[in-house]
Amino acid sequence: MAGTVEKVSDEQAMRDVMALLDGWQVPEPSPWFDSRMMARFREEKEQAPQGFFARIRDRFLFSSAMQYKPLLAGAMALLLVAGGGSYLETSYLHSSRAASVSATVQDLQVLDNNDQAIQQMDQLLDSADDNNQS
């Protein structure tokens, strides 16, 4: 029920805005508007050309980003290819080294590492118990 109340109030607000816009009178431009605008255009045209970096900055700041989409897509594709190639190279090197060690040997190494970790933890716990008893 609350949703319908909001719709009615939004609808009424839109009607109020439209009624205000219907009654708005557009101001007439000054009679010298065209001559002043053309004078400004001539001044801009006669100015010294900007430097390269200033033009690039202005282009990025004041133009639409639509013209940069193909450039951005090409850069992303190049980055993807370069990054993907290095990933494939490292994964290939890693898989060739891993293929030389059998699964059984790897399992035994994991078990040995786990056994060493358990022994170290037991030693730490025993030394902690000895310190607490003293």
- pLDDT digit string, tens, across residues 62-118: 877 777 778 888 888 888 887 766 666 666 655 555 557 788 888 888 889 888 999
Instruction: Label residue 15 by pLDDT band (50, 70, 90).
Output: very high
In this structure, the answer to whether residues 93 and 111 fall within a common structural domain is no
In this structure, the answer to whether residues 131 and 107 fall within a common structural domain is yes
Question: What's the pLDDT at 18?
Answer: 93
| Residue 57 included in any domain | no
Q: What is the DSSP string of 42-110?
A: HHHHHSPPPPHHHHHHHHHHHS-GGGGHHHHHHHHHHHHHHHHHHHHHHHHHHHHHHHHS-HHHHHHHH
Question: Model confidence over 18-48: pLDDT tens digits?
Answer: 999 998 888 888 889 999 999 998 998 888 7
pTM for the whole structure: 0.28
| Residue 9 included in any domain | no
C-alpha angle 105-107-110 in degrees, rounded to nearest 5: 110
Question: What's the pLDDT at 44?
Answer: 85
CA torsion sign for 68, 74, 77, 83 is: negative
Q: Give the residue from 81, 59, 77 showing the smallest Cα distance to 68.
A: 59
CB atoms within 10 A of CB 89: 10
Q: Domain span at residue 95?
A: 70-99
Tally of domains in the chain: 2
In this structure, the answer to whether residues 76 and 89 fall within a common structural domain is yes
In this structure, the answer to whether residues 105 and 94 fall within a common structural domain is no
